[in-house]
Amino acid sequence: MAINIQFFGAAGEVTGSCHLVKFGSQRILLDCGLIQGGRKDEARNREPFPFDPKSIDAVVLSHAHIDHSGRLPLLVKAGFSGSIYTHRACRDLCRIMLKDAGFLSEKDAEWENRKRARKWLDPVEPLFTVEDARVVMSHFKGLVYAKKQRILPGVSLRLSDAGHILGSSIVELWLAEGEETRKLVFS
């Protein structure tokens, strides 16, 4: 059984948690967070994803902090159509935090565009909007702790309380193919 894990953030840096698990034909994204830091770091959030968002079958979100959840609206705008699995308290926090991040992104773009207009520069778009944050919430599936459940063919998930913030989870994934099962733990 071949399992491939690719690290697209929070590897060699702290923010931008985003990890792709490939197993058979399944593609599962663990977190999809904003890259934070200086302007050059944050500009990386506008770059295309290093994978095709349409090819992702599911997202599993460990917790609501923006460096773990903040690019989810961008993922949906880029074509992701699957479910986002997380604890129900994390889902509820994301509803507030992503909306707030969208609002701040809109205000940042307004401020930047006032400065750009004085220099006759083209306006910039917000990274994502309050509406983008609203749309992504329809993909969320709020789960409870300690219940193992099938999320995709050959893939089961159980969340356990990580104690980090409300709704944060230790993620256990069981990947099964034929008679063989492997367990992956992410925290």
* Domains of the chain (ranges, CATH numbers): 3-186 (3.60.15.10)
Find the mean pLDDT for residues 96-103. 98
pTM value is: 0.95
| Number of Cα atoms under 13 Å in the Cβ half of residue 120 | 0
Contact 151, 174 (CB under 8 A): no
What's the alpha-carbon Rg for the chain, to the nearest Å?
17
For the stretch 30-66, pLDDT in tens is: 999 999 888 788 889 999 999 999 999 999 999 999 9
Contact 43, 127 (CB under 8 A): no
> Is residue 141 scored above 90 in pLDDT?
yes
Tokens of 137: 């919430």
Q: Which amino acid is at 21?
A: V
